[in-house]
Amino acid sequence: MPSATTPTMSAGPRRAALTDPGYQAFFILRTGFTVAPILFGLDKFANLLVDWPTYLAPWINDVVPGSAQAAMYAVGVIEIVAGLVVALAPRFGGWLVAGWLAGIIINLLTIPGHYDIALRDFGLLLGAVALARLAQRYHGKEQPH
């Protein structure tokens, strides 16, 4: 017998939830905005994908203590935490990632030759906002309407 504190969902409503296009979009965005920040955050420590310090605007490098690589270590930790927040609380994590991307965009717009990456990150920011809005819609619901 299910208790009042542990909601259960039968196979029928669960299947209905998984076939709802809005819920599918929420699930895809939640997965992507969990995995990508964690992976990119981890790569800030290894620089396997790219030489991350080259993406730090010189004016930011001048105001943060230490080297550009040390700043990327801090960025990596923040990105890992943001991915975890999306996984655990996407209503808040979506807005956190959107704000973080806004900061990245400002950074990139101040580096000549990185405007294309700033534009791509603007698209990601829109996706993060969509995640936050969809998370609001599906928060605490066992099945979408």
Eight-state DSSP code of residue 45: T
* pLDDT tens profile 87-120: 999 999 999 999 999 999 999 999 999 999 999 9
pTM of the model: 0.84
**Interatomic CA distance for residues 75 and 81, integer angstroms:** 10
Q: Are 117 and 57 in contact (CB under 8 A)?
A: no
In the three-class reduction of DSSP (H, G, I as helix; E, B as strand; rest coil), residue 137 is classed as: helix
* pLDDT tens profile 40-87: 999 999 999 999 999 999 999 999 999 999 999 999 999 999 999 999
Q: What share of the chain is helix, strand, coil (3-state, %, to 5)?
A: 75, 0, 25
**Interatomic CA distance for residues 113 and 75, integer angstroms:** 21
Owner of token pair 């420590």: 45
